[in-house]
Structure 1
């Protein structure tokens, strides 16, 4: 709004007429009209006049329907301009009865939204007048008979509206549960005073909005912000927008866009959306008062409240205040709704993840140009389960990364942007590894490599197979992919998980069992639930190393320890079945895993101990092409003589590098044999001449 509307100014003219009449009547009965100390003390004459005059309203108490003041003459009274021209009252022309309307009336719009009565509007205008014309502070000080009280008291406001001070109809409109006070449209100060002597004032935000100064509420900065619908309309927005409900709960699954759905539904209903950070609201020292301000802001702006994410620990007073008014509230979260949270039952909607086609549409809309030749953003990010807002944010990051490198947006930029949308909570429970190895770094048999590529393919195409083709329907089963990596220590299980994650553009999260296993009953399950819950919001690969420690076989119950161990295993069986992410279980002892786990696994990969040819390739790969090699390096001897797994070979190669760097020479057989000898001692193996041959003396 550009300024005060003529309709509002015309209504304020009636306030001035009522005040003029009240001042005139007061002068008629004032025993000391010229007293310069008026309002600072009470003289005997003033007390006698008060005893004699009584306390009547300034105008007769009208009958219903309530009309607080008679119609004011057309044209402005002094102090309130009528539109662009400020003409004196004695120069007002006659205005025909069919005069066109003055345009939008913000007070009338607020009255409709908040359910205000005409008396409520009149009381609000009386309290608003000093914010429009400072003379009213003097008028009210005179009528209050106290120059220090420049706001209308409750008693004065009721009398100006033509009501006796004791009239229940007026007093009830200023009660705590009445819309004016309940929605913080009008403040009643000084609770220690009697009701009639309490002051009335209009909060700055309400007064500014009524007068056209539509500045945001300062208390809501960082807590709530307007959000506009963007991109393709989410499925179900039209139906939810037509529902006309006051409270709805959108339960979001990973990859769903509850926020986008709520904003689109409100747009369908002709409303804006005010997105509220619910955890921050609940953490405020006075959450109920702040919730009231939120509802008021939504009323003023004609918006609905989109509140979330719901965590379940919000004070009941927050929900009570948010749902008290007529503002639609669309809450969202990932957990089930508890009916005890609110007295008002919500409409509950499950927000499913976007389909592959819907995600593709959002990606293309967010990246209209500047892509590398032949790049399909949807195909490059098919393994990322993201909602529409997250996709738009990821696309923005990808564009910035590409601009910084001076290149068109490529696959690496898109994947890097998508990874920025991962929640940070999982990093407190698991160690994040940014993959730095690829398929060429693996030295594994062809069948093992084939299974690893199959695992990556399952992650890419699971939406099509499991959701579109419904190859895993019903039963509460998740849409995740789980695999088992089984093999001796050092055979490449962790590195293979890193390669799979890197090929998908995902991060690898390794679960630290020290943060999971707890000696107290039930705590292990809670820790695992936190991990699975955080992992549901992360596009990454979850690796449970030494998985047999927590995914072990159930056994016959002989004592309480067996009973609770079996409960843990049963819980894990169910939780793995409902997991929607990509999880890898790594174990050195496959035989220790419960058979029920293996049935639920999508891929089982066995990692054999490398043969001689594989060991030679591993020695060559671990030394690399940057390490200077002496002429006596014999990789064939190293591969044939020492039966070591890949992890041990890598450790020995690194040790040899340190030895050579310390001696200031290239890596030779002396360093390599010495490193192997150290590795043997770590493994508890003997250094035998049958293995070391002529190099036995170097194995020190």
Structure 2
């Protein structure tokens, strides 16, 4: 706080009091009955005669002097004239010294009107009530009112009898209180220091050159809010960050917008507003002293503002900057040998998300030994995912690993390649620029094709687990719609939500929505082709990790295949793989005795999913019987699986165990 703020403010109020004393004395001299004990409660005939006999003249004008302290700083930021400052002091006085309430009640000739009216304020400043130059300083577009420093109340009254009030936040600020307006709690916050140091030279140059509207288009991991805050800081402004969604959702929306502008003016701050999804209140927030940085994921809409903004993309931070952020936040708490940048390279996180993820990792580490491991880092990063996608897809926390896969080596190799693409896409696409032009996104997409039960969904879960990500399986019931155009809208919502989530998106039964385009014979064919064409374009711009799983690869449009990074064909397991699958599915914790794995693998031509189902059924049968899993339970479970599949239970497959199959 400026050391001279309060003495200067009190000196100005003392000067106002001297003028009020003169005004009271003059008022008493002209009063036909100055000792009337009911003064201000009624109008006597003598008072009316006195009013008719003379015009109401202004009092002694104030002497314009220099303004110092917080009052001077506020006058400079809000572009207040000396008359504006004096009007502000007249309205402020009752909030600092309660005697002024009685003064104003007497001068208003109404003991119930204890604040200065517009007419009284003008006369105390030495101006006639009809002076246009003075009245204009109190209209809605004036510096005092537009900045929210002065409120003109009683709009239903004639202008001169309207009361003037200074909001509590302004009074507190002039008295040295720096706490933000309590009305802004949960809507706006003062950013002490930006969370990231980035190159903001272009933005700083624009702000210092007088540009007061900036629009930052948020790209995945871009951190537009931090970018805007850093630019404002370097341009010499404090930063007030406003949550656009919460601001828009409050019932007293207009009043909160005024409070935001007032807070920014009092602090000499710039406003960072976002993320915006529809027209923001730019006109209401516009103030010549308050730079406004707006951010959102969409392109700037020129209809939002008459004045064009300075537009810039907020792109993802370079790998080195992300790594430094992790280290700054975690410091010595990292486990030995853990590189946070490498462990989270495939996560798309902005600066604030990294800060929150690091804090979450530290909290988890406290109860797990005190040091932050790779698992803590990835769990903290996953915790930053938005919840919107969970309303459109089922979230699965992976509980499997590469060791749980029983697949041919070539298939596992392709799966590892897909995981590697997801892990290193930042370097290949962003740093090495291996996908330039065409509006193509940073996404990684794969196709898993094969019969039911061959391991497609489990493989997607393994890839998600290896990357430390969650798996989101899309429910086709929430996507496919019988009405024209609705399927595309549903998919767009999924892709939009998925862009802000660090996870693997799995479209099971993908041929239902990614099917071949056909010859147009009727309107249904035409709209089906439009739907497929939309999906082709949308997949190109997708920035996430997506896996399409299908039992019918031949039904997929060939144009989709070209846009896929990896295509994996899942074969029906041969005898050796089936033996490994039986051994893996029965596991090491389930008690078993005399289970002939060689017979099971050779006799029963089952896919991995059916083998797992049979193993679980066998475990239940053994638990019910109170014994270890044996051939009786396994063969009985296989027979049940055959019946589910519509197969015959015969001697050719079951051989010597046919009797067990009948039980």
TM-score class, shorter-chain normalisation, is: over 0.9
Is 1:323 aligned to 2:286, yes or no? yes
Partners of 2:131 and 2:530 lie apart in 1 by: 68
Residue by residue, what CA displacement relative to the aligned partner does 1:639-678 show, whole Å, maximum 9, x if unpaired? 1100000000000111111111112221111111111111
**C-alpha separation in 1, matches of 2:479 and 2:286:** 39
1:641 corresponds, among 603, 607, 614, to 603
Residue of 638, 658, 672 corresponding to 2:620:
658
Mapped partners of 2:628, 2:251: distance in 1: 66
SS of the residue corresponding to residue 275 of structure 2 reads strand
Structure 1 residue matching 2:333: 3-state secondary structure? coil
Mapped to 2, the partners of 1:230 and 1:202 lie a distance apart of 32
1:33-182 matches, within 5 Å, as: 33-59=34-60, 68-70=61-63, 104-182=68-146
Instruction: State the partner residue of 2:32.
Output: 31
Runs of 4+ in 1 over 6 A off after TM superposition: none
Distance in structure 2 (CA, Å) of the matches to 1:666 and 1:313: 67
What is the CA–CA distance in structure 2 between the aligned matches of 1:411 and 1:230, rounded to whole Å?
Answer: 26
Query: Do the aligned residues in 2 keep the contact of 1:228 with 1:263 (CA within 8 Å)?
Result: no
Q: Does 1:278 align with 2:244?
A: yes
Instruction: Indicate conservation of the 8 Å contact 2:440/2:541, yes or no.
Output: yes
Instruction: Report the counterpart of residue 176 of structure 2 in structure 1.
Output: 212
Q: How far 1:325 sits from its partner (Å)? A: 4.4
1:505 aligns with 2:498: no
Match of 1:255 among 199, 212, 221: 221
Q: Cα distance, 1:407 vs. partner?
A: 3.5
Deviation sequence 1:513-537 (CA, Å, 0-9, x none): 1100111111111111111101100
**CA distance in 2 between partners of 1:341 and 1:230 (Å):** 27
Q: How far apart are 1:281 and its partner, in Å?
A: 1.0
Residue of structure 1 in register with 2:333 after alignment: 370
Instruction: Map residues 279-298 of structure 1 onto 2, 5 A cutoff.
Output: 279-298=245-264
- Partner residue, 1:683: 645
> RMSD of the alignment, in Å?
1.5
Out of 147, 150, 165, which is 1:201 matched to? 165
- Matched with 1:521 is 484
Unaligned runs of 5+ in 1: 60-67, 73-100
Aligned twin of 1:332: 295
Distance across 2 between alignment mates of 1:516 and 1:374: 44
Shift of 1:11: 2.0
Match of 1:301 in 2: 267
Q: Deviations over 1:95-119 (max 9, x none)?
A: xxxxxx99x4222222222222221
TM score, norm. by length of structure 2: 0.97
Q: Does 1:697 align with 2:659?
A: yes
Shift of 1:232: 4.4
CA-to-aligned-CA distance 1:567-600 (integer Å, 9 cap, x gap): 1111111111111111111111111111111111
How many Å apart are 1:687 and its aligned residue? 0.8
For residues 201-244 of structure 1, the C-alpha deviation after alignment (integer angstroms, 9 at most, x for no partner) is 11111111112123321110110001133454123x12212212
- TM-score norm. by structure 1 comes to 0.92
In the TM superposition, residue 634 of structure 1 has moved relative to its aligned partner by: 1.2
Whether the aligned pair in 1 keeps the contact of 2:441 and 2:541 (CA below 8 Å) is yes
Matched residue of 1:535: which SS? helix
Corresponding position: 1:610 with 2:611: no
Distance in 1 (alpha carbons) for counterparts of 2:385 and 2:36: 74
Q: Deviation per CA, 1:227-264, whole angstroms, max 9, x where unpaired?
A: 133454123x1221221221111001101110110110
Q: Displacement, 1:564?
A: 0.7
Listed one character per residue, the Cα deviations across residues 318-369 of structure 1 (whole Å, up to 9, x for unaligned) are 2210124431110111111111112222111111111222211221222221
1:679 and 1:654 mapped to 2: Cα distance?
A: 11
C-alpha distance in 2, partners of 1:564/1:684?
A: 37
- Partner Cα distance (1:312, 1:192) in 2: 34
Match of 2:373 in 1: 410
CA distance in 2, matches of 1:428, 1:241: 40
In 2, are the aligned partners of 1:247 and 1:329 still within 8 Å (CA)? yes
- 1:161-217 C-alpha deviation (Å, 9 max, x unpaired): 111111111111111222222222111121222111111111111111112123321
SS of residue in 2 equivalent to 1:510: strand
Equivalent residue for 2:14? 13
Secondary structure of 2:384's aligned partner: coil
Partner secondary structure for residue 285 of structure 1? coil
**How many Å apart are 1:58 and its aligned residue?**
1.1
State the SS of the aligned residue for 1:13.
Answer: helix
C-alpha distance in structure 2 between counterparts of 1:651 and 1:594, whole Å: 32
> Deviations along 1:52-99, whole A, 9 cap, x unmatched?
23211113xxxxxxxx51379xxxxxxxxxxxxxxxxxxxxxxxxxxx
Correspondence list, 1:243-642, <5 A: 243-244=206-207, 245-312=211-278, 314=280, 318-631=281-594, 633-642=595-604
What secondary structure does 2:568 align onto? strand
- Unaligned residue ranges in structure 2 (runs of 5+): none
Residues matched between the structures, number: 658
- Once the two structures are TM-superposed, the CA of residue 510 in structure 1 deviates from its matched residue by 0.5
